[in-house]
Amino acid sequence: MTGRSRLAALILAAALALVIVSRSLFRDDDSGPHEISGLTMGTFFNVTIDDSDVTAVELSRIRDTIQSRLDQVERLMSTYDTDSELSRFNRHESAVPFAASQQMLEVFSAALVVSERSDGAFDVTVKPLVDAWGFGPPGRPPVPPADSVLAALAPAIGYRLVEVDLEAGTLTKANPKTVADLSAIAKGYGVDRVAAALDSLGLMGFLVEVGGEVKARGRKRDGSSWNVGIERPDTDRRTAYETLRLADAAVATSGDYRNHYEIDGIRYSHIIDPRTRAPIRHLGASVTVVHTEATFADAWATALSVLGPDQGMVVAEREGLAALFLVRSGSGFEVRRTSEYRRIADEAIED
């Protein structure tokens, strides 16, 4: 697929995903819920606000606030925008500390926590591998990269090569060639930023979604919780595998079914295992994580996708994470839920 048709497919897919999340939310009168959607970070965002006191003027202010928060995250963290702060950090081939924005420091700090806790499965410095396998700005290679090409990239890869100094406000590279890709965490961070902005505007019930990463706040006006569909990991159709009812929580899903290509019948996914320097190869099709913060839900969903259903379940239980794995089995899927996920799902059924 060309970059443009891939973007079009992505936008269509995101639009269909929104239908799953938001269908049946709306009342017949015009008292809401209010829906605000648009484009950001190469995907769709959608915010549903269930608050009858919101006036048209406030709604337009809310819309501007949401768009500006998301635009800010994109301006800082896009790898496609050569002027973004992340692109400047990546061009900063030096061991001299790089003065970073508060937002970049927050995202790098969260990324490092998940890297440490996932035994290095999550690693934002895998960017050269992401690019080599054809999932970055350079686009798809005609043949898979040779082992020697991947091995030559290895010295600059490793999350420990970037040091975050919150007091000094800097990021420092131990290897000047190290570069980062925040795609696995930035959408979740954007969701948290929007939710925080809506909180400070005094809104009590809303659902924020950016490209499939979701955060629910409070309840709907009728007292019920928000429904979030977990997708069946099919490439060609979008249906919900199961529905989660949430009050104050974030959900993110990661998987190899959204962005991949095939050469000679082998599927190459956009999720790279830093240990093998190659796209993941296990049978896990998707991982969904429920967390208080979308930033962590997003990063953990990617980390557990790297680890796969076997190791991933062990790490998720060890970390007390609410995670659901969908594993390919015959023509369908086998589901595995951690004990924390089962607890949350049971609580939602009882409420």
Q: Which residues bind Mg ion (CB under 5 A)?
A: 184, 254, 298, 301-302
Neighbours of 51 (CB within 10 A): 22
Which of 6, 274, 295, 29 is CA-nearest to residue 136?
6
The DSSP code sequence of 60-108 is HHHHHHHHHHHHHHHHHH-SS-TTSHHHHHHH--SSSPEE--HHHHHHH
193 binds ligand AMP (CB under 6 A): no
Cα–Cα distance for residue pair 120/159, rounded to 1 Å: 7
Q: Which helix (H) or strand (E) holds 311?
A: helix 294-318
Q: What would the x/- binding string for ligand AMP be over residues 255 to 274, using CB under 6 A?
A: ---------------xxx-x
Cis omega (within 30 of 0) on the bond before 33?
Answer: yes
Q: Which is nearer to ligand AMP, 225 or 257 (CB)?
A: 257
Minimum Å gap between C-beta 254 and ligand AMP is: 3
The DSSP code sequence of 40-63 is ETTEEEEEEE--TT--HHHHHHHH
Question: Which residues neighbour 31 within 8 Å (Cβ) at sequence distance 6 or greater?
Answer: 52
Q: Which is nearer to Mg ion, 183 or 227 (CB)?
A: 183
Beta bridge partners of 330: none
Cα–Cα distance for residue pair 211/188, rounded to 1 Å: 9
Query: Out of ligand AMP, Mg ion, none, which partner does residue 126 contact, by CB within 5 to 8 A per kind?
Result: ligand AMP
Query: Out of ligand AMP, Mg ion, none, which partner does residue 124 contact, by CB within 5 to 8 A per kind?
Result: ligand AMP
Q: Which is nearer to ligand AMP, 21 or 130 (CB)?
A: 130
Asked if 140 and 134 touch (Cβ cutoff 8 Å), the reply is yes
> Binding residue for ligand AMP (CB under 6 A) from 184, 191, 316, 324?
184
Beta bridge partners of 210: 45, 213
Query: Out of Mg ion, ligand AMP, none, which partner does residue 296 contact, by CB within 5 to 8 A per kind?
Result: none
288 binds ligand AMP (CB under 6 A): no
164 binds ligand AMP (CB under 6 A): no
Footprint on residues 70-89 left by ligand AMP (CB under 6 A): none
Sole residue written with tokens 């017949």: 28
Query: Out of Mg ion, ligand AMP, none, which partner does residue 108 contact, by CB within 5 to 8 A per kind?
Result: none
Segment near ligand AMP (CB under 6 A); pick from 234-242, 295-303, 330-338, 340-348: 295-303
Q: Which is nearer to ligand AMP, 49 or 287 (CB)?
A: 287
* DSSP 8-state symbol, 113: H
The three-class DSSP label of residue 303 is: helix
225 binds ligand AMP (CB under 6 A): no
Minimum Å gap between C-beta 196 and ligand AMP is: 20
Segment near ligand AMP (CB under 6 A); pick from 19-27, 101-109, 122-130, 147-155: 122-130
Encoded tokens for 217: 């706040």
Q: List interacting residues with ligand AMP (CB under 6 A).
A: 122-124, 126, 130, 135, 181, 183-184, 254, 270-272, 274, 298, 301-302, 305-306
